Amino acid sequence: MLVHLRNPSRDVEVAGPIRIQRLLDDLGINRESVIVIRDGELVPGDAKLPDDADIEIRPVISGGAA
Amino acid sequence: MKCRVCRGPAVIDLPAHNANFCVEHFVAFCRSQVAKAIHEFRMLAPDDRVLVAVSGGKDSLALWDILLDLGYEADGFVIGLGIGEYSETSTAYARSFAEARGAKLIEVDLRADHGFDVPTAAAETKRPACSACGLSKRHLFDRAALEGGHAAVATGHNLDDEAAVLFGNTLRWNTEYLARQRPILPERDGFPRKIKPLVRLGEREMAAYCVVRGIDYIVEECPMAAGNKHLTYKDALNLVELESPGSKHAFYHQFLRRAADSFDAETTAHDGNRCSRCDAPSANEICAFCALVERCAPPAEVPIDLRARSSR
Ligand code: SF4
Ligand SMILES: [Zn+2]
Ligand SMILES: [Zn+2]
């Protein structure tokens, strides 16, 4: 399964099937700080992804001070 | 996971609200949270015209979208900050949103209209880019709203932003800043009303909202934001939120309810003076923005009237 991460942009291979929540835990990502997108749609935390899935884990935290 | 409203399949879970939603009811939820904030803090009257400070990021575009859907006459305002590709891409997203929604976007370009950009200002003042940038944004938004006859300037600050700022100010007991940390600042001496209608919605909700509404926004961070303390505060609060959903909301909204009033005496009243160059309210002879322009802009080589001006 191909996982696309942003800021900086990079791809990681993860073995599926796997639940989103588990995937985020394995990658050490706080679920509050990202959304998961597959084919332009949101994927809920309890969804199980097949091994051939292609997803984006998009950070939602922005850091501007003004 | 089922939608709280229709029991159909949910696309997002919101532990802070103890709720899951499908696309349709998530959009309705976001709108109702904005409507609730506007009502609770008396931000806008139904026929008030509002100027949305648009950055091309998720928060400001989502805010603009929601205000339009709630029926407000909302114009967008974007500033070309001159931060390389980041600025160009951000402005492009703002333009395509405006076009798609048939909304009015007002544009100002720091370099073309005022002779400097954020990186030059940071280098020239030897201060973090965000201070020159923030100062310019505030000045230009205020001016645009007054010129455009808008009742208020709306910014996309969300719950995470406000909680992080509150956290920073509380850590150091910056009482003067605490006094000003409200979702609405009333109009006074030449400053338009300032409102933050997203204070009931978090960062994750805003990103999710843009995805389900098909709004493209700039995901990349501003390159000048690196090393910013707000990110540390946000991470810290999100660790707490994970263990105890609803903490960010309680931290900020209970502050407003129970503590904010006690800092009121700390606000320094403005004395009614005006900048001699631009007429903006200013304690000094020349306001901070005009001082920045003077410091950064190279002296004109060509007489003003001969310079080609972009028609806007
Ligand atoms: S991060 Fe700082 S420099 Fe970049 S846009 Fe935001 S305020 Fe301006
Ligand atoms: Zn539903
Ligand atoms: Zn001035």
CA distances from B102 to A35, B34, B96, B169, B184 (A): 28, 21, 10, 40, 28
* Closest CA in chain B for residue A34: B204
The pLDDT, as a whole number, for residue B155 is 97
Compute and round to an integer the Cα radius of gyration of chain B. 20
Is B23 domain-assigned? no
- CB within 8 Å of B211: residues ≥ 6 apart: A35, A37, A40, A41, A42
Helix/strand/coil for A7: coil
- How many residues are listed for chain A in this entry? 66
Which runs of consecutive H residues, i.e. helices, occur in chain B?
23-40, 58-69, 84-101, 110-114, 118-125, 129-148, 159-171, 175-180, 203-213, 229-243, 247-254, 288-296
When divided into structural domains, chain B yields a total of 1
Q: Which two tokens stand for residue B85?
A: 């590709």
Q: What is the DSSP letter of A33?
A: G
CA distances from B33 to B37, B66, B71, B204, B205 (A): 6, 10, 15, 14, 11
Q: Tell whether ligand 1 has an atom less than 6 A from the beta carbon of residue B130.
A: yes
Read off φ and ψ for residue B197, nearest 5 degrees.
-70, -5
Is B285 domain-assigned? yes
**Model-level ipTM above the cut of 0.90:** yes
Closest atom of ligand 1 to CA, residue A66: 7
* Closest CA in chain B for residue A32: B238
Distance separating alpha carbons of residues B93 and B58, to the nearest angstrom: 10
| Contact predicate A27/A4, CB 8 Å | no
Residues on chain A touching B242 (C-beta within 8 angstroms) = 30-32
CATH of the domain at B287: 3.40.50.620
Q: Ligand 1: which of B55, B88, B90, B118 to mutate, most ligand atoms within 8 Å of CB?
A: B118
Q: Tell whether ligand 1 has an atom less than 6 A from the beta carbon of residue B118.
A: yes
Is B33 domain-assigned? no
* Closest CA in chain B for residue A31: B242
Superfamily of domain A2-59, CATH level 4: Beta-grasp domain (3.10.20.30)
A64 alpha carbon – ligand 1 mean position (Å): 5
B246 alpha carbon – ligand 2 mean position (Å): 22
Distance separating alpha carbons of residues B87 and B122, to the nearest angstrom: 16
- Rounded to two decimals, the pTM is 0.93
Of the candidates B56, B1, B31, the one whose C-alpha atom is nearest the C-alpha of residue B209 is B31
Q: List the domain range (segments joined by +) for residue B89.
A: 41-219+226-311
The pLDDT, as a whole number, for residue B268 is 58
Q: 3-state secondary structure string, B67-90?
A: HHHCCCEEEEEEEECCCHHHHHHH
| Contact check, Cβ <8 Å, A65/B12 | no
Using 70 as the pLDDT threshold, list the residues of chain B that sit under it: 227, 265-271, 299-312
Is B213 domain-assigned? yes
Q: How far is B222 from chain A (nearest CA, A)?
A: 7
- How many residues are listed for chain B in this entry? 312
From the CA of B84, the nearest ligand is 1
Q: Tell whether ligand 1 has an atom less than 6 A from the beta carbon of residue A62.
A: no
| Contact check, Cβ <8 Å, A44/B12 | yes
The pLDDT, as a whole number, for residue B311 is 45
- CB within 8 Å of B112: residues ≥ 6 apart: B80, B310
Q: How far is B11 from chain A (nearest CA, A)?
A: 5
Read off φ and ψ for residue B131, nearest 5 degrees.
-75, -45
Give me the tens of pLDDT residue by residue for chain A, a chain 66 residues long.
999 999 889 999 999 899 999 999 999 999 999 999 999 999 998 999 999 999 999 999 887 655
